Amino acid sequence: MVTLSENTLQEIEKAASKYVDRKSALMAALWAAQAEFGQLSPDVIRAVAEVIGVSNAHAQGLATYHSLYWKKPVGKYVIMLCTNIACTLMGAETLLEHLEKKLGIHEGGTTPDGRFTLQEVECIGSCGNAPAMVINETFYYDLTAEKIDGILEGLK
């Protein structure tokens, strides 16, 4: 059994107050729970479903529909590298391979020390400064392999 913190519950109620139907706050509730637990395990989703008042099946269905809800544990830093068309044209695929080699993991994986998760993502709206990536909530633009090395160095 997972219990949501007072803080998360408050945030969920605040979100719910913005809609005529509290079911609308399910997405915000999943965001809040993810912020607290770092991921949305089936137990966390079940706890959220109960607070919102929807079936567990509904909440699981919604969580798995969206790519930004993590359904399994992720590293301290989640590297989201865009490989959509503008970024691919500007060399993102080479950077993906560079990151895989550097971190010793495949796309979708997490380093054994739990520091980095590497994810290939669709367009992140930074196409004028491609290739681009997001690490947690910070955007990095006009990437090269050297630039990426420097960025990761700075995170250690």
Partner 1 sequence: MEKILLKNADVPNINDVDVYIAHGGYKSLDKIFQMGPAAVLEEVKRSGLRGRGGAWFPAGMKWQFCVEVNKFPKYLIANADEGEPATFKDRPFLEKDPHQLIEGMIVSAYAIGASKGYIYLRGEYPTGYKVLNAAIDQAYKKNLLGNNIKGTDFSFDLAVHRGAGAYICGEASALIESLEGKRGQFRVRPPYMATHGAFGMPTVVNNVETLVNVSHIINGGADWWSSIGSKDSPGPKVFGISGHLQKPGLYELPMGVTLRELIYEHGGGIKDGKELKAVIPGGVSTAMLTPEHLDIKMDVKSLQTAGSAIGSGATTVMSEDACVVHMVWRAMAFFYHESCGRCTPCREGTDWMVKILARIENGEGRMEDLKILEDVCHTIHNNCFCPLGEGAVNPVLSGLKYFRADFEEHIRTRGCPKGLRARARH
Where on the chain is the footprint of ligand FES (CB under 6 A)? 82, 84-87, 123-127, 130, 132
| Nearer to ligand FES (CB atom), residue 43 or residue 122 | 122
What is the identity of the amino acid at 36?
Answer: E
Chain contacts with partner 1 (rule: CB under 8 A): 18, 20-21, 23-28, 30-31, 52, 54, 58, 61-62, 65-69, 83-86, 88-90, 93, 96, 107-108, 120-130, 134, 137
Helix, strand, coil % in the chain, rounded to nearest 5: 50, 10, 35
| Nearer to partner 1 (CB atom), residue 84 or residue 144 | 84
CB of 85 to partner 1, least distance (A): 6
| Nearer to partner 1 (CB atom), residue 2 or residue 124 | 124
Question: Which strands form 116-121's sheet, in the order they lie side by side?
Answer: 116-121, 77-82, 133-135, 138-140
Determine how β-strand 133-135 pairs with β-strand 138-140.
antiparallel
Name the token pair of 7.
């803080």
